[in-house]
Amino acid sequence: MPQQNFDELKQIIEINSWTKNKAGVDENGEIFASWMHALGYKEEVYHRESIGNHLHFISKHKEGKKLLLLGHLDTVFPPDTFENFKEDEEWIYGPGVCDMKGGNYVALEALRHTHEKFGTIENIDFLLVSDEETGSDDSKYLSGELGKAYDYCMVFEAAGVKDEVVIGRKGVGTFFVDIVGKAAHAGNHYTAGADANLEAAQKLMALVALTNLEKQTTVNVGKISGGIGANTISPKAQLTFELRYTVADERDRVLKAVDEIVAENYVEGTSSTLSGGIQRDVMQPSDEQSEFVKRINKLCNIELATEKRGGVSDANVVSAQGVATLDGWGPFGDGDHTVHERASKQSFKERIALVSEILEHFSEGGFEN
């Protein structure tokens, strides 16, 4: 990979792209857009007021299969926390170098190779969203709707330690249970109160009991709040919990049970309401995805290593639309979400070469049958 390419990567890595920094995320997007325009792409901008704009780069379309490349523009680092780029012989260091400005750059370089070989790019589009690191609460609706138009999707989160691509990711949901009780003096009128904290404790135990480790389903009550003070029966409480699951049946089982737990009053005089929901549904391996892997293996004469991950990405969103989706096409790196984030130079080189070959075969019609 020539030095000038690292200079381009340096340019966008040194822009603070914290999800809540709209100006920085948009600047990152504008620079990326200039590179995409040079390849003949048209740009559809989905303007947003409080987060960065989502960008959909559209190639020339013709009859046949369509491929979506997918990435995100934002990082997790607020201004003045981690904004430096550096490199040594083996590694590049910086915010987003593997999650996922580096992955976006792999896609860009592969598109450049494709454009250089064919003179134009057809049926290969690129979507960059701006809020993935905070759960894609806005962009997931856009990604899901746009994703329906594609046959294949490649997502450019970081590769696995052995260059694995990702074929499965857990689904995730975040929920809140708000409990209303009745305040009373804990000394003089103990029985006149309805203890919201005690109700929360009973519900916590019931929620956690829904965990099934054999099926990799977890329910974690990560935050509890409630009460006024030691001398007052608690008039309110809140539980914040997360659900993660690997199959849709488990999602349905837990959601039904959660509704029952919220509806039941363990402490007389309390009432509870549930809010929140599924953020990203499960990414399950599918026959279409398996065929996608087999086709890549055959055309590129390789044996892709694959893995499943407990974390989520926007691959969950597009996969839920029935699109054959593979994640983990970015470079291998580690330390993501920390000030030690880095990515392997060798992995950049290998990922760009492999993705370029896949796009070449796609452009030649290798995925049509």
- Tokens in use for 212? 């099934």
Instruction: Identify the pLDDT of residue 138.
Output: 96
Q: Which residues of 115-131 are buried (b: 16+ CB within 10 A; e: fewer)?
A: beeeeebebbbbbbbbb
Q: At what angle do helices 101-118 and 3-13 cross, to 10 degrees?
A: 140
pLDDT at 351: 97
Mark whether 83 is an active-site residue: no
Q: What is the pTM of this model?
A: 0.90
Per the omega criterion (within 30 degrees of 0), is the bond before 100 cis?
yes
* Per-residue pLDDT tens listing for the chain (369 residues): 444 468 999 999 999 999 999 999 999 999 999 999 999 999 999 999 999 999 999 999 999 999 999 999 999 999 999 999 999 999 999 999 999 999 999 999 999 999 999 999 999 999 999 999 999 999 999 999 999 999 999 999 999 999 999 999 999 999 999 999 999 999 999 999 999 999 999 999 999 999 999 999 999 999 999 999 999 999 999 999 999 999 999 999 999 999 999 999 999 999 999 999 999 999 999 999 999 999 999 999 999 999 999 999 999 999 999 999 999 999 999 999 999 999 999 999 999 999 999 999 999 999 997
Interacting residues of 37 by C-beta distance below 8 A, sequence separation 6+: 43
Residue pair 42/116 in contact (Cβ under 8 Å)? The answer is: no
Give the type of residue at 341: E
Q: Partners of 219 in the beta sheet?
A: 243
User: What's the CA gap between 310 and 254, in Å, rounded?
Assistant: 17
CA dihedral for 341, 170, 123, 146, sign (positive or negative): negative
The CA-based angle 135-94-16, given to 5 degrees, is: 60
What pLDDT does 1 receive? 42
Tens-digit pLDDT profile for residues 27-47 = 999 999 999 999 999 999 999
Determine which one of 74, 83, 131, 314 is catalytic.
74
d(CA 342, CA 88): 11
Burial class (CB in 10 A: 0-12, 13-18, 19+), 209: exposed
Strands 67-72 and 124-129: parallel
Residue 131 a catalytic site member: no
DSSP H or E segment with residue 363: helix 345-363
Residue listed under structure tokens 């409080």:
50
Domains defined for the chain, CATH in brackets: 3-169+283-363 (3.40.630.10), 171-280 (3.30.70.360)
Distance CA 254, CA 245 (A): 9
Catalytic-role residue among 83, 99, 132, 327 = 132
Q: Is 177 in contact with 262 (CB distance < 8 Å)? A: yes
At 3 the pLDDT is 44
Start-end of H helices in 175-286: 196-208, 248-263
